[in-house]
Structure 1
């Protein structure tokens, strides 16, 4: 997107290929637009974003999301601003990432900082200059006493004074506001029935709101804090269990660990997706939402208790799942012996001792590819997202093995794969070993997806 310090190019002066690229991109994001219309996103950011001058660009991107029908709840922090206020007033107290006592003086600083940031955000949403992304935008921003808080109290002999935690949210009011197209803005403060104010952690407040509203997404905008793999690349998708295992290792820096812990907690409690997105990259929230791989780390409930590696004891159940599809020609006949040989490549879905789904991953890592085979969900269990879950699991597993592309061969379900980002290819696109075993009599269609 264009910013004030970057020269823009008019359509007349643009290169010949620019219109085609724009049209292709617009068509590619259309499915996301349709999917997210009417969904609730909770977007949370600390005072660092405001201090670093990134607020204006963020508001422009959020106004676009609002125009596309996304329901927005914003939760801002103010930690650096509070610390600066305390410093200027001569107090030694400085707030870090953890839970700390809030004195009367610190609470007053928190109120001042929250008020200033809230006004900055409201002013940014009030822009409407011509030839800017905010032109013709009329977005109402509504704040209020939606958060009932209680004191943290005394823990291990330490009185946390005016530090609080969320007790209750006015869900009727919040839902009513976002349903009318307005943006809810929450500051990190809560109030008790006795009229006391409490200092809240932005991360805790955002997580509580996302869980209570059953948000589609909880997005933490961070100072470049994302999870990275062993190659130093951004780990774009983490199953919640993997996120918890990574947290248990204790190797993450304090900020990343805090954001990841809250993302994991939100997903565990029902939020569909939680993201760590670097605000230091201009337009990062749009890139995360409207591109397949995104630019941050997404935590999902990918590995439910039902999902596990197959064992030899599962061969009979896998055969029972596969046989009807082999009989009607959907799958190529394999035979029990082949499944026994390849059983370690299978993953199964099991509930109460009944296996109701399976999928297999066949790696061809010399050519950076992997094949997904035998993606099956029992008919009685279809329609509730199990196929999507198996697909995400295999994508994550293939990516972890080092594969850059995932391919499938199908005769009956091409549209299902096309809707999920697969593009049709040809025999020549397959790994050489797989080309040699391609069954031309079946004339299976080949679909490939970049990971």
Structure 2
């Protein structure tokens, strides 16, 4: 943000998300590296801000890096198998100590309220406890994992009761058994199981990587579990990214609406992902964040907002609300998280077996993703399904775009009679036709 005005503009655009997130349940995983040195301070402040905005927060904290350092200092080298270490009593003593220290550090930071700190005036209550039940990993491929365990169940009712009282819940990577034992757990698994048990609205995984990238190193903003599966297969199974991606896919398949992969290295990642339309990291979801669909009557306001600038500069013929409501069944739209960022219409002239491709529009900020081509392909699909032989379009500004997509210039007489009668000769629109 370079000026106060750009901040105000950002704040205005974030207001729908502030309202949408209020009362929602977010499970946030913070890996141990994120809290070392001074790195954890800004994260703590962002979590406190989310709390004040009415978000119900469950924070799972990792301790792997801190435990590694404690073991190295004591000259201990744990046995590793299948991506986990064997937690014998000696290892487990360090795990329990570090988990307690880390929990106390977090509670202290979340209690900070000095006048010169971002948490001034915020009273934030935290709670932790035996909220995750565990069972031992047991013996696998001849290796006894001893006190390394996996989640048996999450006490969702107890956590919800705390959240309803505006309490922030802290979950360490530890679990408790009915026999009174404590087990070392994978923090990412705790986060995933908690999100599923709580039917959380979001699972947020803060790790080293800023998300998933394609072969050209471009950040992938959104993926479904099936789309992410090939990338998961290509990752080192013991890497943090593979672990997070696997957890994200499992969470999506078990009902968590959205899982976000973010980097703790970016101090703006958490708030940037939650309060901007495009986000900063990668989101794994079963439900499309951006979808091409038939228009509905509730889209009229969004269509008017999208079309008005293009009508003002003469690219499109002005359309009234009444006209759009009357013709809404002719439109397809691209909906990006509740915002209409693209549209096109197919007006049918069934007697002539032709259709008019009209009102093709894409929001200026989203014109780099071949969305116009997607709209054209959908209109062509609908036209073919209805047995139309040709598409025609009228344009004053974008003749070359239509030519590049298979249309050819045609005469005024190529229009069906009803469309010739409604033609605005003052605009002198070019006529283009594409056979189907």
Q: TM-score, normalised by structure 2?
A: 0.69
Q: Distance in 2 between matches of 1:405 and 1:135?
A: 49
Q: Is the aligned partner of 1:154 residue 2:139?
A: yes
Q: 1:405 to 1:142 in 2, by over 3 A?
A: farther
Q: Is the aligned partner of 1:234 residue 2:219?
A: yes
Q: Which residue of the partner structure matches residue 296 of structure 2? A: none
| CA distances 1:366-400 after superposition (whole Å, capped 9, x unpaired) | xxxx965479xxxxxxxxxxxxxxxxxx99xx99x
Q: Which residue of the partner structure matches residue 12 of structure 2? A: 27
Q: Given the alignment, which residue of 280, 287, 303 partners 1:295?
A: 280
Q: 1:250 to 1:19 in 2, by over 3 A?
A: closer
Q: 1:94 to 1:119 in 2, by over 3 A?
A: farther
Q: 1:233 to 1:89 in 2, by over 3 A?
A: same
Contact 1:58-1:283 at 8 Å conserved across structures: no
3-state SS, counterpart of residue 246 of structure 1: helix
Contact 1:241-1:303 at 8 Å conserved across structures: no
Contact 2:133-2:177 at 8 Å conserved across structures: yes
Q: Given the alignment, which residue of 57, 72, 76 partners 2:61?
A: 76
Q: Which residue of the partner structure matches residue 39 of structure 1? A: 24
| CA distances 1:37-90 after superposition (whole Å, capped 9, x unpaired) | 000000001111112531110010011100100000000011111111112222
Q: Which residue of the partner structure matches residue 327 of structure 2? A: 329
Q: Which residue of the partner structure matches residue 316 of structure 2? A: none
Q: 1:359 to 1:282 in 2, by over 3 A?
A: closer
* Cα displacement (A) at 1:105: 0.7
Runs of 5+ in structure 2 lacking a partner?
A: 294-322, 336-340, 347-361, 377-394, 404-408, 411-418, 425-436
3-state SS, counterpart of residue 220 of structure 2: coil
Q: Given the alignment, which residue of 104, 112, 133 partners 1:119?
A: 104
Q: Is the aligned partner of 1:218 residue 2:203?
A: yes
Q: Distance in 1 between matches of 2:213 and 2:257?
A: 22
Q: 1:68 to 1:244 in 2, by over 3 A?
A: same
Q: Which residue of the partner structure matches residue 45 of structure 2? A: 60
Q: Distance in 2 between matches of 1:359 and 1:253?
A: 42
Q: 1:135 to 1:429 in 2, by over 3 A?
A: farther
3-state SS, counterpart of residue 59 of structure 2: strand
Contact 1:46-1:76 at 8 Å conserved across structures: yes
| CA distances 1:403-433 after superposition (whole Å, capped 9, x unpaired) | 3789979xxxxxxxxxxxxxxxxx8886753
Higher alpha-carbon Rg: 2
3-state SS, counterpart of residue 93 of structure 1: coil
* Cα displacement (A) at 1:252: 8.3
Q: CA RMSD in A?
A: 3.9
Q: 1:263 to 1:326 in 2, by over 3 A?
A: same
Q: Given the alignment, which residue of 173, 186, 203 partners 2:171?
A: 186
3-state SS, counterpart of residue 212 of structure 2: coil
* Cα displacement (A) at 1:229: 1.9
* Cα displacement (A) at 1:22: 2.5
Contact 1:152-1:160 at 8 Å conserved across structures: yes
Q: Which residue of the partner structure matches residue 403 of structure 1? A: 370
Q: Distance in 2 between matches of 1:34 and 1:25?
A: 15
Q: Which residue of the partner structure matches residue 265 of structure 2? A: 280
Q: Is the aligned partner of 1:259 residue 2:244?
A: yes
Contact 1:372-1:407 at 8 Å conserved across structures: no
Q: Which residue of the partner structure matches residue 187 of structure 2? A: 202
Greater Cα offset, 135-144 or 240-249: 240-249
Q: Distance in 2 between matches of 1:276 and 1:216?
A: 15
Q: Distance in 2 between matches of 1:34 and 1:169?
A: 28
Q: 1:371 to 1:283 in 2, by over 3 A?
A: closer
| CA distances 1:207-240 after superposition (whole Å, capped 9, x unpaired) | 0000000111100101134211232121111122
Q: Distance in 2 between matches of 1:36 and 1:213?
A: 16
* Cα displacement (A) at 1:245: 2.6
Runs of 5+ in structure 1 lacking a partner?
A: 2-14, 309-324, 334-357, 362-369, 376-393, 410-426, 444-451
Matches within 5 A, 1:1-12: none
Q: Is the aligned partner of 1:103 residue 2:88?
A: yes
Q: 1:114 to 1:295 in 2, by over 3 A?
A: same
Q: Distance in 1 between matches of 2:243 and 2:5?
A: 42
